[in-house]
Structure 1
């Protein structure tokens, strides 16, 4: 696959993260399925980045952002850019996340079978959320 790296998210990633968050299939697999307003998103990002350990990351492949993940305690949340899905990026990213951060927990909706499989394969504890 190419060269990858994980970097901390910055304020400059606001537009990118906003687009990924509001994409329809991403919203349908999120706990909050509503479209997020730009101002609310920027406020959330500002608060997140102000934390001592924001634990919000961008996953890049060949210097191009292709996915994101965040860690909240023992939980990991992640999404792959819509145009990058079904290319093995989630598997690559989650294996690296496990390597760097240890075994985390992923809460996944029961009908999101691809995400369940990739999280299990990477060695995460998967908690199934009923739709």
Structure 2
């Protein structure tokens, strides 16, 4: 895991973000557990990218998109690509997020122990959400 970078999300990431958002495991750890339909996703992404500061990013490892995160004020939301979980990517990403953006607040479900640990170890404020 030598070459990583954080880049702003673009319209070219539409399908990728849609697929990651609708992954079953991702949905179970999200506040909104429903699948998002394509037209809603397109509208959301267009509005998001139209903000003065969209704060929606893609984390790449060796030029491959492997995770995404979003910053809303002091709140941080993130997910790792379904096929790249349990490989240390969240740890690498959150440490870099902390380095570049400072201490943020991650809301994590109580039963998502790995995400709680990685966020705490990266120095994030973790707010536990009871299931």
C-alpha distance in structure 2 between counterparts of 1:29 and 1:36, whole Å: 14
- In structure 1, the residue matched to 2:101 is 101
SS of equivalent to 2:2: coil
Kindly state the Cα deviation for residue 69 of structure 1 after the two structures are TM-superposed.
Answer: 0.2
**Structure 1 unaligned spans of 5+:** none
Moved runs in structure 1, 4+ residues, more than 2 A? none
**Structure 2 unaligned spans of 5+:** none
- In structure 2, the residue matched to 1:74 is 74
The one-character-per-residue Cα deviations of 1:57-91 (angstroms, maximum 9, x if unpaired) are 00000000000000000000000001000000000
SS of equivalent to 1:41: helix
Kindly state the Cα deviation for residue 2 of structure 1 after the two structures are TM-superposed.
Answer: 2.5
User: In the TM superposition, what are the counterparts of 1:13-32 in structure 2 within 5 Å?
Assistant: 13-32=13-32
- In structure 2, the residue matched to 1:9 is 9
- In structure 2, the residue matched to 1:61 is 61
C-alpha distance in structure 1 between counterparts of 2:51 and 2:37, whole Å: 22
Structure 2-normalised TM-score? 0.99
SS of equivalent to 1:108: strand
Kindly state the Cα deviation for residue 109 of structure 1 after the two structures are TM-superposed.
Answer: 0.3
SS of equivalent to 1:30: coil
C-alpha distance in structure 2 between counterparts of 1:90 and 1:102, whole Å: 16
Residue 38 of structure 2 corresponds to residue 38 of structure 1: yes
Structure 1-normalised TM-score? 0.99
C-alpha distance in structure 1 between counterparts of 2:2 and 2:65, whole Å: 13
